[in-house]
Amino acid sequence: MKTIVIVGCGSGIGFEAAKILSEKYDIIGISRTKSPELEKINLKLYEKDIVSDNLDDIAFPDVIDGLVYAPGSINLKPFNRLSEEDFKHDFTINVLGAVKCIQKLLPNLKKSGNASIVLYSSVAAKTGMPFHASVASSKCAVEGLTRSLAAEFSAQKIRVNAIAPSLTDTPLASQLLSTPEKREASAKRHPLQRIGNANEIARLTAFLLSDDTSWITGQVFGIDGGLGTIKL
């Protein structure tokens, strides 16, 4: 059975991915927090803050077949209110955390012979949106990292892809969806007239980890209700 590591499995997309993938694979989960819902999933859980904690005390198996890096940030402010620390914080969570995990697990991924890494970008990396300067900058870096590593790791048969969602109904987005009016306004911005849900993103994640996508690498998949490509 394949072994998949999911970083950020405590809530949102990472949590939904853990639920789906645990039905088929051995899952190692890394999360800052535990929850009763998370404890119902069949996985081996380690409580870690990926930004500040060391991973050396985790006994990872010799072979790892997939890595999902799900931590992220939504830090929306006018540009003149964004500090240098805001940019550093978003970059650390979205990019450097992923780099840390990939570097740590690369020897294990190389031994798989058909490994897959899934990262997460944002529709804001492709479509200019006000107040997104910090998070969009870091997500653009995620897309650059995805393509660069896909090229570099291809000889080791490690695939690297990213998913770029639009606004998704997760705890991370709760402040943006905190009232019926906000939810309705957000839905209307999308050609399909609704916001996304974490399960939809998780199912694409599971697909990219499967052998059905063994000839797909270096891609960024928009799952955004049409917002990234359609203008009505």
C-alpha distances out from residue 214 to 7, 159, 184, Å = 22, 8, 39
CA proximity to 230, closest of 190, 195, 196, 194: 190
What pLDDT shows up at residue 13? 97
pTM for this prediction = 0.96
209-226: pLDDT as tens digits: 999 999 999 999 999 999
Phi, psi for residue 48 in degrees, rounded to 5: -145, 145
In terms of phi and psi (left: phi > 0; alpha: psi -120 to 50; beta: otherwise), the region of 167 is: beta
pLDDT band for 113, please (50, 70, 90 cuts): very high
pLDDT band for 200, please (50, 70, 90 cuts): very high
127-137: pLDDT as tens digits: 999 999 999 99
CB neighbours (10 Å) of residue 230?
11
Class of 3-169+197-223 in CATH = alpha beta
CB neighbours (10 Å) of residue 93?
19
Domain ranges in the chain?
3-169+197-223
26-77: pLDDT as tens digits: 999 999 988 889 989 999 999 999 999 999 999 999 999 999 999 999 899 9
DSSP summary character for residue 69? E
